[in-house]
Structure 1
Amino acid sequence: MPELPEVEVTKLGIAPFLEGNIISKIVVHQPQLRWLVPDEVHLASQQTIRSVTRRAKYLFINTDLGALVMHLGMSGKMRVVDTSLPRKKHDHIEIELNTGKKLVLNDARRFGSCLWQSPDEEPLKILRALGPEPLTDDFNAKLLFDKSRGKLSPVKTFIMDNAIVVGVGNIYANESLFKSGIDPRRAAGKVGLKRYQLLTENIKLVLANAISQGGTTLKDFAQADGNPGYFAQHLLVYGRAGEECEVCQTPIRSKVIGQRNTFYCIHCQK
């Protein structure tokens, strides 16, 4: 599943091809994605794209009349290709530009979405309860500490709650907790302020490093075959159950927490 760094890199990859250009037309081949694609998305036709922004894992293609709000879901990818290129299987939405290029949303599992946000209406329901962005000053140790008091849920589940902080998906929650020496099974309310300080720093570091690594693939969003190159990373614990911890050589363990696979070292994380 694309997580925040992949979505940020997607934004950086597509923005140069979209910003300042005019949407010629929007073709919806499959309207039934996670939510039904509303007819209002066609309001963006003939509009200039002012900017491409991100909030959590949602991408906003902003025009004067409103914004296309897009989500990659579990399997979605975006690519920029020549308008003349034929449609591929699972290409559900094509946003054609006056430049002869088109932005294509491909989503085999159809958990992605394309919605419309008007500037004179209240934010879409899916956007109203989102917590702060993890790479901003609004996300800090005091926020985590204050919101965690009395919570018995595992700290990993806590930091993956988008109402607490957005975009800390499964991979990056595992990696950040390992680098902070915090057992993912520990109750969120039992983690002290100093440890949340370290965790906050590591969440920011892990996400920023992932985005930096992904920057090497930006050119792939407009390859001839239109295959965006999501990036490989060196992961310390995620997906390494049974392998030796790189710090202490203890075998990495796995456990399902909150319906998500969790990886940790019983020696390094307390």
Structure 2
Amino acid sequence: MDAFIRFTNQSQGRDRLYRATQHACMLLRYLLESKAGKEEVVMKLKKLESSVSTGRKWFRLGNVVHAIQATEQSIQVTDLVPRLCLTLANLNRVVYYICDTVLWVKSVGLTSGINREKWQMWAARHYYYFLLLSLVRDLYEISLQMGRVAHERAKKEKSSSQDPLGYSVVDEETEWLQSFLLLLFQSLKRHPPLLLDTVKNFCDILIPLNQLGIYKSNHGVVGLGGLVSSVAGLVTVVYPQMKLKTR
């Protein structure tokens, strides 16, 4: 089991590289579709995008086992909110990979009795739930970081007449927004893995939102979001210390 997990972990880097290529093709195709005389280039990009998407399915075949192991690990998290969010998120990821495997079986022609559209919707729905729960976990971690930063600043300025954020107490909404954004910036600056994970999940969720019809986006937005997310994922593979850790 451990050897199999190590193999699937190593394949994640190749999957992220393929994914970046796939969404880069989607973004370029969107940008060139309106240009005259670019029809041949657009068709080549579309074929490359389709080929890369098919190749990625091979890298994801073993991910269901990795998702099951991640679910088991998330149950051991000490903090209640991350434990609940991560466990439910990983359970949805398990179902997503099962649906993805069924779709792969259909695509290679091993069976014909599979409703492709139905399984695609199931996969998109559980992928959406996974990302939504992951974002809830990110927001919880951000709130904790902001609380720590605010507490540290309050301690440093305890002898001062200024408020914890260094602003005079006013009722203006703009002043409150500036204080909030400053605190958010300082919190994320101190915790790059949290920033990277939040950006990745936010960009990723555009894909199932579009597939489920919750928020329709064009191919350019989806492609850009997928490209940014893929680059963020590659960073966590190359630099494991940039991956958000559970407590």
Same-fold call, TM > 0.5? Answer: no
TM-score by length of 1: 0.23
Decide which structure has the larger Cα Rg and report it: 2
TM-score by length of 2: 0.25
Q: Which structure shows the higher strand fraction?
A: 1
The structure, 1 or 2, with the larger RCO (C-alpha pairs under 8 Å, 6+ apart) is 2
Q: Which structure shows the higher helix fraction?
A: 2
